[in-house]
Amino acid sequence: MTAVPRLRIDGLRVARGGAIVLDGIAFEAGAGEILALLGVNGAGKSSLIRAIAGLEPAPGNIFLDGEDIAALSPEKRHRHGIGLVPEGRRVFPGMSVRENLEVAATDGRAARQRQIDAVFALFPDLAAKTGEAAWRLSGGQQQMLALGRALAGSPRLLLLDEPSLGLAPRLVEALLDEVRRIAADGVTILLAEQNAPAALAVADRAIVLRGGGIADSGPAGAFADPMRLRRALLGA
């Protein structure tokens, strides 16, 4: 029997201001798989991430472990196991590190504490600043907090929108190491990135958006060929 994919997108369409942003998007991702979502600025990477999270109107089917969640609100999608790290981090700056994590935890008190403890085990720098206001953290620490906040909801699917944006190369490498560890625990990760080499270094597979559709897809290693990647991103 063929296993049900963790994520299946079928016929997804996003329009904004009368213009078609994405049309007929279809792909799958398995449990524990890292799928890189590549494309030039304006190709629709963030729109696709937001559509899956429920933040963008998008006719079509979105299946999570075989259940169609397309009609659910963003809050219900979160409770069903979708975690989002939006572009620009967007932590709650006036709240402490712990408070940022508590907002996202969805279970009872004991379960919430276990979830927060797991985040602190993954990111010891945050554990040392549990009472610190989020605005006082460095850019890298804020990105870790944004990622930890998404993980506090125990997601099955984690959506990362440009997580390396504004980070130094050393911090990007550290962040992607954490992404690998998260996926190794069975979490499926959709990684939208402008930094294609960084995304391909961590991903299992990649899809490239261009002109409102999927221009190319395949194993991440196949895009090590710079000509193939250039053609996929920019066309002939």
Q: Would you report the helix, strand and coil content of the chain in percent, each value rounded to 5?
A: 40, 25, 35
Q: Residue 3: in which H helix or E strand, if any?
A: none
Q: How high is the pLDDT of residue 120?
A: 87
pTM surpassing 0.85?
A: yes
Lowest mean pLDDT among 67-71, 119-123, 133-137: 119-123
Strand ranges across the sheet with 61-64 = 19-29, 7-16, 61-64, 67-68
Cα–Cα distance, 62 to 42 (Å, whole number): 22
Highest-pLDDT range among 121-130, 162-171, 174-183, 216-225: 216-225
Query: What is the per-residue DSSP string for 10-35?
Result: EEEEEEETTEEEEEEEEEEE-TT-EE
Helices (H) and strands (E) in the chain, counts: 9, 10
Q: What is the pLDDT of residue 187?
A: 96
65: tokens are 């472990």
pLDDT band at 107 (very low <50, low <70, confident <90, very high): low
